[in-house]
């Protein structure tokens, strides 16, 4: 068996330990004589998987009891619609546009109400986070929306925006559980799990209870797209993505064992520093992002020569470093170094980049 170093932005690397455990339990989950994939979502065994997963993410993030934790489907992209449908009470929301995912969420919200773009970094291809200390927040805004870590461009909000008292809603798909978080600063935190937490097919939404409306503000919102439906049913209104939730639960336990989110942050900072230090000293490779806004998770870089970029991606792949090609909309390279990427993976990548630089200068 040969595992590669997988720098994919998502679906992405998972802890090897988790994959091994899942393999061991594949045919007979804890004496049930069946796989978690084959089990009723109304069974005792699955209910404990769900309950434990919820408790473990509550412990990890310190989620207060007045927040619901929902395990949903439809990807982060479905939340782009559910959020305005459920939270646009006055029909107004403010969006900060820091990349493609924020832009898509903003465009979707325009279908349901007045969605203002109150700041944007589109002028410099989203290579920085705009100053959000004094934004023209709409008096009637029901919420302020951010994409906290920009997977494609490699920027992150290191300071949350000043929402002037309005509810903050954040897409944390690509920085979920990568460092400690103060949940109370947000009304809603949500993310697709396939970047840093588990397999594709699960979205986790953490929502302050009082924000969940009895009835969505948009008429004829489908039952499945009402947070109330999902909250009242404990994420079991219909069949949830059972196997995905089971793997997320294992990842939560792995993070706990590693020392929780504080330890994750130290681990992630160490890895990112190795790569950014190299980029800052390299004569061939350079990072594309304003240094103060750099992400710990997604690191885009270029050589400045498209042919050389392609050569690098190809040779890296041959050497066992997979998925280093940048997003199709930006080109260059991108290394996603999520929780489960070992330090050794980044050290070896940097050594390889050093050799490539020598051979090509
Ligand atoms: C990947 C990603 C999405 C889209 O996720 P889907 O689950 O494919 O809908 C949205 N936001 C961010 C920040 C992402 O990284």
Reduce the DSSP state of residue 287 to 3 states and report it.
strand
Residue 329: pLDDT over 90: no
What are 92-116's pLDDT values in tens digits? Answer: 999 999 999 999 999 999 999 999 9
Question: In this predicted structure, what is the pLDDT of residue 272?
Answer: 98
CB of 199 closer than 6 angstroms to any ligand 1 atom: no
Whose alpha carbon is nearest atom 13 of ligand 1? 173
Task: Give the Cα separation of 90 and 143 in Å (integer).
Answer: 10
Q: 132 CA distance to ligand 1 centroid (A)?
A: 23
Task: Give the Cα separation of 121 and 134 in Å (integer).
Answer: 15
* Percentage of the chain modeled with pLDDT above 90: 96
Whether the CB-CB separation of 50 and 71 falls below 8 Å is answered with yes
Please choose, from the candidates 187, 184, 189, 183, the residue with its C-alpha nearest in 3D space to the C-alpha of residue 148: 189
Burial (CB count within 10 angstroms: exposed 0-12, middle 13-18, buried 19+), residue 351: exposed
151-173: average pLDDT: 98
Place of tokens 């630089």: 357
Question: In this predicted structure, what is the pLDDT of residue 330?
Answer: 83
Whose alpha carbon is nearest atom 11 of ligand 1? 101
Residue 75: pLDDT over 90: yes
**Angle (nearest 5°) at CA 8 between 2 and 12:** 80
Structure tokens at 56: 């473990």
51-76: average pLDDT: 98
239-268: average pLDDT: 98
pLDDT bracket for residue 215 (50, 70, 90) = confident
Question: In this predicted structure, what is the pLDDT of residue 168?
Answer: 98
Question: In this predicted structure, what is the pLDDT of residue 361?
Answer: 84
Please choose, from the candidates 326, 343, 332, 327, the residue with its C-alpha nearest in 3D space to the C-alpha of residue 272: 343
CB of 10 closer than 6 angstroms to any ligand 1 atom: yes
pLDDT bracket for residue 351 (50, 70, 90) = very high
CB of 73 closer than 6 angstroms to any ligand 1 atom: no
Whose alpha carbon is nearest atom 8 of ligand 1? 75
CB of 173 closer than 6 angstroms to any ligand 1 atom: yes
Q: 191 CA distance to ligand 1 centroid (A)?
A: 7
pLDDT bracket for residue 228 (50, 70, 90) = very high
Q: 78 CA distance to ligand 1 centroid (A)?
A: 10
Task: Give the Cα separation of 295 and 293 in Å (integer).
Answer: 7
Residue 49: pLDDT over 90: yes
Average pLDDT, the chain: 97
What are 24-39's pLDDT values in tens digits? Answer: 999 999 999 999 999 9
Active site residues: 101, 171, 195
Q: 173 CA distance to ligand 1 centroid (A)?
A: 6
163-178: average pLDDT: 98
pLDDT bracket for residue 219 (50, 70, 90) = confident
Q: Are strands 144-147 and 114-120 parallel, antiparallel or unpaired?
A: unpaired
Reduce the DSSP state of residue 131 to 3 states and report it.
coil
Place of tokens 């979205």: 203
Question: In this predicted structure, what is the pLDDT of residue 94?
Answer: 98
What are 77-95's pLDDT values in tens digits? Answer: 999 999 999 999 999 999 9
Q: 204 CA distance to ligand 1 centroid (A)?
A: 12
pLDDT bracket for residue 304 (50, 70, 90) = very high
* Substitution site in 9, 12, 76 for ligand 1 pocket (most atoms within 8 Å of beta carbon): 76
Question: In this predicted structure, what is the pLDDT of residue 48?
Answer: 98
Assess whether the previous peptide bond of 11 is cis (omega < 30° from 0): yes
pLDDT bracket for residue 285 (50, 70, 90) = very high
Number of the ligand 1 atom closest to the C-alpha atom of 147: 13
State the Cα torsion 192-195-197-203 to the nearest 10°: 10
Whose alpha carbon is nearest atom 7 of ligand 1? 75
pLDDT bracket for residue 321 (50, 70, 90) = very high
Q: 76 CA distance to ligand 1 centroid (A)?
A: 5
Question: In this predicted structure, what is the pLDDT of residue 1?
Answer: 72
Whose alpha carbon is nearest atom 3 of ligand 1? 76
CB of 180 closer than 6 angstroms to any ligand 1 atom: no
């Amino acid at each position: 068996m040969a595992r590669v170093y997988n720098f994919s932005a998502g679906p992405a690397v998972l802890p090897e330990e988790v994959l091994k455990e899942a393999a061991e339990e594949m045919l007979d989950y804890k004496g049930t004589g069946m796989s978690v994939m084959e089990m009723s979502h109304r069974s005792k065994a699955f209910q404990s998987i769900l309950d434990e997963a919820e408790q473990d993410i509550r412990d990890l993030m310190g989620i207060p009891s007045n927040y619901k934790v929902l395990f949903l489907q439809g990807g982060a992209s479905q939340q782009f619609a559910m959020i305005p449908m459920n939270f646009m009470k006055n029909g107004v929301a403010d969006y900060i546009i820091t990349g493609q995912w924020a832009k898509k969420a903003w465009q979707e919200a325009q279908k349901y109400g007045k969605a203002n773009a109150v700041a944007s970094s589109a002028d410099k291809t989203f290579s920085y986070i705009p100053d959000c200390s004094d934004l023209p927040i709409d008096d009637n805004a029901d919420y302020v929306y951010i994409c906290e870590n920009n997977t494609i461009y490699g920027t992150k909000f290191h300071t949350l925006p000043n929402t002037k008292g309005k509810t903050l809603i954040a897409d944390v798909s690509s920085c979920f559980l990568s460092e400690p978080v103060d949940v109370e600063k947000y009304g809603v935190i949500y993310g697709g799990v396939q970047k840093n937490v588990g397999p594709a097919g699960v979205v986790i939404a953490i929502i302050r209870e009082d924000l969940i409306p009895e009835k969505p503000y948009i008429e004829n919102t489908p039952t499945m797209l009402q947070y109330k439906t999902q909250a009242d049913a404990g994420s079991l209104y219909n069949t949830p993505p059972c196997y995905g939730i089971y793997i997320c639960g294992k990842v939560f336990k792995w993070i706990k064992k590693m020392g929780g989110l504080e330890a994750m942050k130290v681990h992630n900072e160490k890895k990112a520093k190795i790569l950014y230090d190299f980029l800052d000293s390299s004569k061939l490779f350079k990072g594309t992002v304003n240094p103060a806004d750099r992400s710990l998770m997604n690191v885009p870089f270029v050589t400045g020569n498209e042919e050389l970029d392609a050569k690098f991606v190809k040779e890296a792949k041959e050497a066992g470093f997979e998925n280093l090609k940048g997003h199709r909309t930006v080109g260059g390279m991108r290394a996603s170094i999520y929780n489960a990427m070992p330090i050794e993976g980044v050290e070896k990548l940097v050594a390889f980049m050093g050799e490539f630089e020598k051979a090509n200068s």
